[in-house]
Amino acid sequence: MSKTNITIPFDEEKLSALDFSLHKENTTAQQRMEKDLAELYEKSVPEPLREYLDSKSAPAAKSKRQVKAPAPKMPAAKPIHSPVPFSKDDTPTKTEPAM
């Protein structure tokens, strides 16, 4: 869903005083207004309509999901070679060095 801005006229000195006071609570007038607006939306808009609007925006939200990094690759196991060849009955046989 796209976002829109809401403009509310308010006395500049009062806003400065409000921001100063809210700074002590580690928040701002903007953050509090966003929170309060979200609460008003939850309280005022019927749940079926909120669910419908959420479902319309769900596919866009899925595409923004982070993709997991692939697992690190393990080095390939080296084949084990026997220095002594085996015969058909799986018993070691002696070989003479080639000349």
- Express each pLDDT in 26-47 by its tens digit: 999 999 999 999 999 999 999 9
Answer yes or no: is 69 within a domain.
Answer: no
Token pair for residue 76?
């390939």
Answer yes or no: is 68 within a domain.
Answer: no
As for how many domains the chain has, the answer is 1
Answer yes or no: is 83 within a domain.
Answer: no
* Window from 17-26, 31-40, 52-61 with minimum mean pLDDT: 52-61
Quote the pLDDT of residue 2. Answer: 86
Answer yes or no: is 85 within a domain.
Answer: no
Quote the pLDDT of residue 56. Answer: 87
Answer yes or no: is 93 within a domain.
Answer: no
Does residue 93 contact residue 84 with C-beta atoms inside 8 Å? yes
Answer yes or no: is 78 within a domain.
Answer: no
Token pair for residue 60?
């866009």
- 22 vs 18, 27, 39, 80, 81, CA distance in Å? 6, 5, 19, 70, 73
Model pTM score: 0.53
* Window from 8-12, 23-27, 69-73, 92-96 with minimum mean pLDDT: 92-96
